[in-house]
Chains A and B, each alone.
Chain A
Amino acid sequence: MTDNDTTRRRFLQATGGAATAVALAGCSGGGDDEGQDDTDTLTPEEETERTTREQEQTDKTYRRHNSTMTTLDPIASTDEASGIVIINLFDALTNYPNGETTTENLLAESMEVSDDVTEVTINLRDDITYNHDDYGDVTAGDVAYSFERLAQSDNSRRASFILDFLGVAHETEGEEDTYVPGSLDIEASDEKTVEMTLESPFHAIPEMIAYTSFSIIPEGIVGDIEGYDGDMSYEQFTQETPVGAGPFSLETWNSGSECEVSARPIDEYHGEGPYVSGVHWMIAEEDNALYTYTVLNENADVPYIPNSQYDANKVSIEGKDSMGRKYGTYGPLENDKTVPYYQVEEVGVYYFAFNQANTEPAVRKAFAHAMNQQQMIDEVLNGPGTTASHITPPAIYPGGKEAYLDHEGDYPYGLDETRIGKATEIMEDAGYSSDDPYELELTIYESELFAEIANILRDQLASAHVDVQIQQTQFSTMLSRGRKGNLDAYSLGWIMDYPAPDNFLQLLNPPQTDTSLDAPISYVDWDPDESEAAQKATDAWEKIQSNPAPEEGQDARNEGYVSMEEANWEDVVFLPLLHNVAENMHYSWVEKPRAGAAGRSRQKKNVVYVGERD
C-alpha cells in the first residue's frame, strides 16, 4: 500500500506473480515504443551521462513518510513498507539501481554461469563491509548462511524463492516434502567465492537474487537455523541491530511512529554516497494527517497530496527524458511551493474480473457495455492514466502501441462509451426486468478509487436491470475468498514481473483459473469444457508455450497473445479498465535520480542529496 516514491497515495493495489523479481533476462523495459506515441508531441531527450556528485556527506537528514512496517528481517518481510527500509540497511548480491528495470551487480564482483545454466559461481567484491563495527568484511560464508536461512528458518516467509523459483538443489523428506536442514547445495569455496548448483536451468538469476529476501547478513548473527546459536537474539536483530552491508544503519525504529537510519561514512560504503546523514520516516497512514505533516507543516522533504487536494491543472509538463518519463512541475501547493514532478508509466493493468461459473454471460456483457473507461479516468482517477482495451499494456503489446490502438477498433463493448441502452437490451433479452433484476455481488478491497468506480457502475447498471451489491472487504479477505471461488466479480490490478505479454496473459490461461486448485492464479473458473472461448484461450496458451524460441517463435507467440485477448473479450473474463501512470514529486531542495518503472520502492537512498531547505 505504501509507495515510497509516489507522493500521491497509490490507491490501486495490484497483484504480481509469486516472484516479482523474476524478469526475463535480455528483455528491456517498454522504452523502445515511446516514439510511436502519436497523441504526445514530446520527444524523449537524449540520454545524458549523469554527473557523479562530489563524494561529500551533508548533515541533512532526508525526511519521508512510510506506512506501518512489520519487520526488519529480510527473510520475514512481505510488505512494501518494511522493504523500503530493509533495502537501505541490507545489500544483496545484485540490485535494480534506482528501481530501473535492469539489474547490476552490487555485492557481487562477477557472476559466472555454466553453459547449462545450473552451476553458478559468484565472486564477491573486496571492499564490502557491514554497517556494524563488530562485523568486518562480507565473506562467502555469509552468503551461504544467508541463503540457508532463507530456506530453513521458521521465520522465513519466502523459502519458495530459493527452493522453488531459483531452485537451488536440496533434499526433502517426509510426505510434505519438507526441506532437510543444511542440504542446500551452496558452498563457500574460498573467502570471496560462492558456488551453488540449481536443480534446473533458471533464466533470471541476477533478477531473482536482487530481491531483498536474498540480502546478505553476517554468518551466525541469529540462531534460528540449525548449527548456529546466534550472536544476538532474534528480537535484537530485527528491531535494534539489523546488521547488513547497506548504506545506512538503523538508528531507531519505534513501532508505528517513526523509523530513522543513519548514513555510514561516505568512504566506508562501497557504492555511491550516501550524501545525506540519515533518513527519517514518519509512520502514518491517514490522509489528513499526512497532508498536514508533509505540506502544511513541511516536516518532510516529499509532499504527500491526497486525492482531495490533488488538482490536475497544477501539473505542467516540460519535457520527456530518455527513459520516456514526462517531467515538469506541480504547484503551487498550499504552502506556496511549486515542486519538481515526473510521471512513470507503470507496465500494468487494472481490471474487473468475473467468475465464469458464478455469473451469467449476459450480465458480464452488460457490465462491459456500461463501463466507460475514459469516464473513470477523467472523473475518478483525476490524473494521468490511459484507458485499457486489452489486458496486455501497450508498451509490451505484440507490435507495440500502434498495434494495440489498431486492434482496439475491434473492442466489442464500446470503449470509452457508456452504453446503458445496449446493456439494458442484453439484460432484457436474457429475461430480466426492473422488477426482477439480476443480482451481482461485486467485491472490492479497501480502495477509494475502486469504491468510486464501482459506485458509478452500480448507478449505471441499476438502470440496466442489474442490481450490483458492492462488498468492500479487507484485501486479504478478498483474495482468500477468491481462491476458494466464492467471488462473483472483483477488482484487481497486475503489475509486470517481466516485460512480456505472457506475464499478463497467464492470468487468463483457463486451467490455471480453476479455483479448486491449491493456488489458482486468478479466480475466474474459466472452464474450457463450458465455453468455446475458454477452449480457444487454452489452445492459444499452449501455442505460446510450445514456441519458446526467442526469435523464430515470436510470430506464433504473438498470434497466441492476440487470440487470448480476443477470447477474453468474447466471454468478458477480465474487463480491462486502465493502465496507470505513477506521479512522483519532491521538494526542490532534494536532488536524486528519477526512479524507474520496475520498483519505485527499490531506490536506495544513498543517491539522494538534500540541499538547503527554503
Chain B
Amino acid sequence: MSRWSYFAKRLVLSIPVILFGTTVTFIAIRMGPIDPVSAVFGTQANPDDMERMRRQLGLNQPLWQQYFDFLWDMVTFDLGQSWVVETNTDTIELIKSRAPRTVWMGFWAILIPLFIGIPLGFYAGLNPNTAGDYFASFGGIVWRAMPNFWLAVILLVGLSRSEDILFGFSWKTFLVDTPQVIGTKYFHTAWTNLQAGQIQPMEWARATKQILPAAVVLGSASMGNEMRISRTAMLETKHSNYVEMAKAKGVSGRSLVWKHMFRNALIPLVPVITGEAGLLLGGSVLVETVMAINGIGKLFFDALTEGDMPVAGALMFIFILLLVFINIMQDFLYTIIDPRVGYEGE
C-alpha cells in the first residue's frame, strides 16, 4: 500500500469516528434533561415567551429532524448562533473571541514540557542512576501525580500571597509588574495591538508571566510523561547497536549525542506529544474554571450545562476534528521519520 492510499484510507475511516462523536453529543444534550429554554428564562418564565423561543430555535420540530439538521449544519460548517451562553451571537464569533486565550495557554502548556521535560529526561537518560537522574525521575512522577485542579488552586493562592509564604519574594513584582497574578488581561492588549500591527515586547512579557502558572498546571501531566519517555528512549538509544558501533568508530561524545542519539530518541516522543491534545482539551475546563480564565474550556462547560446545543455541539465537533486530524498527522509523520513503520498495522 502506498503512502497516499494509506492516507486516503485513514481519511475514510475517520468519517464514522466523527459521526459517532457528533451523534453522542447530540443525544446527550437534546435528549438529556437539560432544557435550553428554561436556562434562558430561568425563573421569569412566561409560557408565551418560552413557546416563541422554542419556535424560533426549531425546538418544536421532531427530534430526528433536528438531528439531521444538526448533522447537516456541522458538515457544511454552518455552526449557527448561540442559544444561551451569548444569546444570538454567531458561534464562530464566540469561539473566535474565546479561543485565543486557551490557545495562548495551550501554547505554553506544550512549550514548557517540551523545553523542560525532554531535556531533563535526556539528561537523566544520559546519566542513569545518578543523584540527578533520581531527582529528575522522581520529581517527574510526583509532578505528574498532582491533580491539575489541586495544583491550580494552590498556585493561584500561593502566588497571590508569595510575600507571606516565600520569605518576602513577591511574584507580583517579579521581573515585570503583574498585579493580577493569573489571567489574560495583558495577553488581550498585546494580541489586539499585534492585530493592529504593533509589537509590544513589554506587554508580551507580562502576558507570558500571567499565563505561566496556568500553563504549568495544564502541562504538568505532559511534562512528567515526556520526561519519562525521553529518559527511556535515551537509555535505549544509548545501548543500541549503532551507537555502540559509532563509539567503536571513535565518533566524539558530543557529536554522538547530538547527531545520532538525539534524533532517534525523539521518535518515541511523537505520539506522546500529539497525545497531549486530549489532555489539554480536557484539562482546560478545570484549569480555566479554577483560575478564572474565560477560554473555550469554560465556554464548553457553560454551553453544556445550559443546553446550548450550537455552541456545545460545534465545540465538540471541532475538538473531534482536531483530534482526528492530529492522529492522522501523527501516523503520517511517523511514516516519514521512521521508515521502519509499515502501513499494515493500522
Direct A–B contact present (CB less than 8 angstroms):
yes
Interface of A is mostly: loop
Residues of B within 8 A of A71 (CB): 86-89
CB pair A476 B172 closer than 8 Å: no
> What 0/1 readout, one digit per residue, does chain A (144-160) give for beta carbons within 8 Å of chain B?
00000000001111111
> What 0/1 readout, one digit per residue, does chain A (477-494) give for beta carbons within 8 Å of chain B?
101110100000000000
> What 0/1 readout, one digit per residue, does chain A (281-301) give for beta carbons within 8 Å of chain B?
001111011101100110100
> What 0/1 readout, one digit per residue, does chain B (173-208) give for beta carbons within 8 Å of chain A?
000000111111100100000000000000000000
Q: Any chain A CB within 8 A of the CB of B47?
A: yes
Residues of B within 8 A of A154 (CB): 56
CB pair B41 A78 closer than 8 Å: yes
CB pair B294 A256 closer than 8 Å: yes
Residues of B within 8 A of A473 (CB): 33
CB pair A78 B88 closer than 8 Å: no
Residues of B within 8 A of A78 (CB): 40-42, 44, 87
Q: Any chain A CB within 8 A of the CB of B10?
A: no
**Those of A214-241 within 8 Å (CB) of chain B:** 234-235, 238-239
Cα A519 to Cα B45 with chains together (Å): 8
CB pair B289 A286 closer than 8 Å: yes
**Those of A28-82 within 8 Å (CB) of chain B:** 68-71, 73, 76-79
* Listed stretches A10-18, A498-506, A588-596; interface member: A10-18
Q: Any chain B CB within 8 A of the CB of A475?
A: yes
Q: Any chain B CB within 8 A of the CB of A163?
A: yes
Nearest chain A CB to B302's CB is how many angstroms away? 7
CB pair A15 B180 closer than 8 Å: no
Q: Any chain B CB within 8 A of the CB of A254?
A: yes
Residues of B within 8 A of A547 (CB): none
Cα A257 to Cα B186 with chains together (Å): 11
Q: Any chain B CB within 8 A of the CB of A612?
A: no
Cα A386 to Cα B137 with chains together (Å): 58
Q: Which of A17, A68, A290, A476 has the most CB of B within 10 A?
A: A476
Q: Any chain B CB within 8 A of the CB of A545?
A: no
CB pair A285 B292 closer than 8 Å: yes
CB pair A70 B86 closer than 8 Å: yes
Contact for B161 among A16, A76, A296, CB less than 8 A: A296
Q: Any chain B CB within 8 A of the CB of A518?
A: yes
CB pair A480 B97 closer than 8 Å: no
Nearest chain B CB to A492's CB is how many angstroms away? 8
> What 0/1 readout, one digit per residue, does chain A (272-315) give for beta carbons within 8 Å of chain B?
00000000000111101110110011010000000000000000
CB pair B49 A292 closer than 8 Å: no
CB pair B289 A477 closer than 8 Å: no
CB pair B33 A477 closer than 8 Å: yes
Cα A77 to Cα B44 with chains together (Å): 12
Residues of B within 8 A of A234 (CB): 88
Contact for B43 among A157, A238, A479, CB less than 8 A: A479
Residues of B within 8 A of A235 (CB): 89-90, 93
Q: Any chain A CB within 8 A of the CB of B101?
A: yes
CB pair A254 B188 closer than 8 Å: yes
Contact for B179 among A77, A155, A297, A518, CB less than 8 A: A297
Residues of B within 8 A of A288 (CB): 153, 156-157, 290
CB pair A255 B33 closer than 8 Å: no
Q: Any chain B CB within 8 A of the CB of A164?
A: yes
Closest to A478 in B: B38
CB pair A297 B41 closer than 8 Å: no
Q: Any chain A CB within 8 A of the CB of B309?
A: no
> What 0/1 readout, one digit per residue, does chain B (300-335) give for beta carbons within 8 Å of chain A?
001001110000000000000000000000000000
Q: Any chain B CB within 8 A of the CB of A176?
A: yes
Q: Any chain B CB within 8 A of the CB of A110?
A: no
Cα A483 to Cα B84 with chains together (Å): 20
Q: A157-B40, A176-B51 in contact; A479/B45 too (CB < 8 A)? A: yes
What's the interface size class on B, roughly?
35 or more
Q: Any chain B CB within 8 A of the CB of A474?
A: yes
Contact for A296 among B33, B160, B290, CB less than 8 A: B160
Closest to B82 in A: A70
Closest to B291 in A: A289
Cα A283 to Cα B86 with chains together (Å): 14
Residues of A within 8 A of B51 (CB): 176
> What 0/1 readout, one digit per residue, does chain A (564-583) give for beta carbons within 8 Å of chain B?
00000000000000000000
Cα A492 to Cα B180 with chains together (Å): 36
CB pair A290 B46 closer than 8 Å: no
CB pair B88 A255 closer than 8 Å: no
Q: A157-B53, A296-B161 in contact; A257/B46 too (CB < 8 A)? A: no
Q: Any chain B CB within 8 A of the CB of A447?
A: no
Q: Any chain A CB within 8 A of the CB of B39?
A: yes
Q: Any chain A CB within 8 A of the CB of B98?
A: yes
Q: Any chain B CB within 8 A of the CB of A470?
A: no
Q: Which of B34, B88, B98, B180 has the most CB of A within 10 A?
A: B88
Closest to B93 in A: A235
Q: Any chain A CB within 8 A of the CB of B78?
A: no
Q: Any chain B CB within 8 A of the CB of A19?
A: yes
Cα A480 to Cα B295 with chains together (Å): 28
Nearest chain B CB to A486's CB is how many angstroms away? 9
Closest to B34 in A: A477
Nearest chain A CB to B328's CB is how many angstroms away? 32
Closest to A177 in B: B48
Cα A492 to Cα B76 with chains together (Å): 43
> What 0/1 readout, one digit per residue, does chain B (69-106) give for beta carbons within 8 Å of chain A?
00000000000000011111110011001100100000
Residues of B within 8 A of A176 (CB): 51, 55
Closest to A254 in B: B188
Nearest chain A CB to B47's CB is how many angstroms away? 4
> What 0/1 readout, one digit per residue, does chain A (447-481) give for beta carbons within 8 Å of chain B?
00000000000000000000000000111110111
Q: Any chain B CB within 8 A of the CB of A20?
A: yes
CB pair B88 A73 closer than 8 Å: yes
Nearest chain B CB to A284's CB is how many angstroms away? 4
CB pair B33 A159 closer than 8 Å: no
Residues of A within 8 A of B161 (CB): 296
Cα A15 to Cα B41 with chains together (Å): 11
Q: Any chain A CB within 8 A of the CB of B52?
A: yes
> What 0/1 readout, one digit per residue, does chain B (100-134) give for beta carbons within 8 Å of chain A?
01000000000000000000000000000000000
Q: Which 10 residue pairs are nearest across A and B when measured between Cβ atoms?
A: A256-B294, A289-B292, A15-B43, A476-B39, A284-B292, A480-B38, A519-B47, A160-B46, A476-B38, A480-B35
A-B residue pairs in contact (CB < 8 Å), sample of 23? A15-B42, A15-B44, A17-B44, A18-B44, A19-B44, A20-B44, A70-B85, A73-B88, A76-B88, A78-B41, A164-B46, A164-B48, A238-B88, A255-B98, A256-B97, A256-B294, A258-B185, A286-B290, A288-B157, A296-B161, A474-B34, A476-B34, A519-B46
